[in-house]
A and B are shown apart, each in its own frame.
Chain A
């Protein structure tokens, strides 16, 4: 009798173990699926584009002749856009996060604002393009220049940044600010000397990720009417420009006309991926450094 019961339990145990390993394989396969698709994409792009990448490709201007075309204009355009996006998002984003998290009274209005910011983060990017078109290109009459593109992309990533900065500020342990207040520090002293430094690594990580989102966006720029024509290199905020994703978009569109354009698009994708990869690595390095310190 006793033996039977033990056996019974053993059976149950085996069933549980089997279930365990089945689930394990399912999860493993899901991970594998993502990795394989990603690998295929990257390999295809590399095969198509790698040969076309050389110093000349990176440093020349655009041309209708595929073997002479380069992406310097698009790279410069992307960089100029960043010159607008970085300060605007950092100042407004971190500022709003500090206000919402540390100054404003927690209540209905506060949670209403927070919910809406979170919702804004989910609004399709093309809608931001329309907003940018209306507000910056037409109403402010900027035209499709760097400033208009930058402000549009800044608006697009602002909610992401605010939410991540708020999370970063919230994650600073309360006992640190308590210690500071306890010594007679003012609120601003506590924020500047204790809370912000402690939250900075996470805020930086969040802003780098937001930035790479902005760099990769195409839809809002197409709505703004950003060209990929033979335009001079942008030299300031009020110059017309093109950006890397726009370049990819137009080359892909026109690849039915000129087959080599597909290769050029692939080569540009490689460059864009490289930039995003570098940005994300910086974010990871910052995060790891911060975790080590704790």
Chain B
């Protein structure tokens, strides 16, 4: 209950910000990663990562397979801890608080940081139940409020018109692209501040991909988005900043236009011109 009303106000304020004065203000850092190292038992998967993610921007992470993109993005909401034997050093400050030292409850963090996965993963439940899952586990029970959340979230994920007449049907009956947008709606329903997306379009056809890309551009007005993608055109189309990773290290991190048109590092250039990876 309280999260909803609170967040509404916040969203409105943000909207005003982006249209008028935010350009002149100091941009807020949402995630500040300092000297992050991560091991899967013996594998040193992330090496001395230093990154700043700015509010209301789309940050894209690119790099060859196995370079640690998923690992990094899963560290940001601590999902990586589900793998046994993971160890980290360094800090990741989320809005000023280090999330790696357990001072913040992991459930709390994941309520503020939503995640969309590579493969659409709706629950084997109705579309309605999928979207209300998050609000319900956080204690919202009132039917009218849930109805409102469902409509807002599905509209936010640009799928309301396609599913509004069949909210009570199983989400498995939707196409892959529709499922992914329902998953995005499900994520919006917990009203996160940040959305993490791990190759959200890699399982989708070109038209669904385009729809999700349009959606991401829309979402960035309200949310901070970090997206992993294998598709460099996609990174170029939708992101403000781009991170290029290689073998667990950040090779280059800059404005997207800059990174693609004028890469500073030879390895970045090789990668984006398709010479390896």
Contacts and interface: CB of A to CB of B under 8 A. Distances in A.
A106 B84 contact: yes
Contacts of B124: 176, 198, 293-294
For chain B, give the interface size range: 20 to 34
Contacts of A259: none
A35 to B, nearest CB: 36
A105 B108 CA distance: 24
A42 interface: no
A42 to B, nearest CB: 39
B79 interface: yes
B130 to A, nearest CB: 9
Contacts, number: 65
Contacts of B109: 184
Interface string A155-191: 0000000000000000001011011111111100100
Contacts of B137: 180, 183-186, 189, 193
B121 A179 contact: yes
B84 A182 contact: no
A190 B28 CA distance: 33
A184 B108 contact: yes
Contacts of A178: 79, 82, 117, 121
B190 A180 contact: no
A193 B117 CA distance: 20
A183 B121 contact: no
Nearest to B77: A182
A45 interface: no
B40 interface: no
A181 B121 contact: no
A282 interface: no
Pick the most buried of A106, A180, A181, A293: most chain B CB atoms within 10 A of its CB: A181
Given A193-B133, A294-B172, A175 B121 contact: yes
Given A106-B84, A193-B133, A293-B170, A182 B123 contact: no
B257 to A, nearest CB: 31
A46 to B, nearest CB: 42
Interface string B17-32: 0000000000000000
A198 B124 CA distance: 8
Contacts of B115: 182
B204 to A, nearest CB: 16
7 contacts: A175-B119, A178-B117, A180-B133, A181-B79, A182-B77, A184-B108, A189-B137
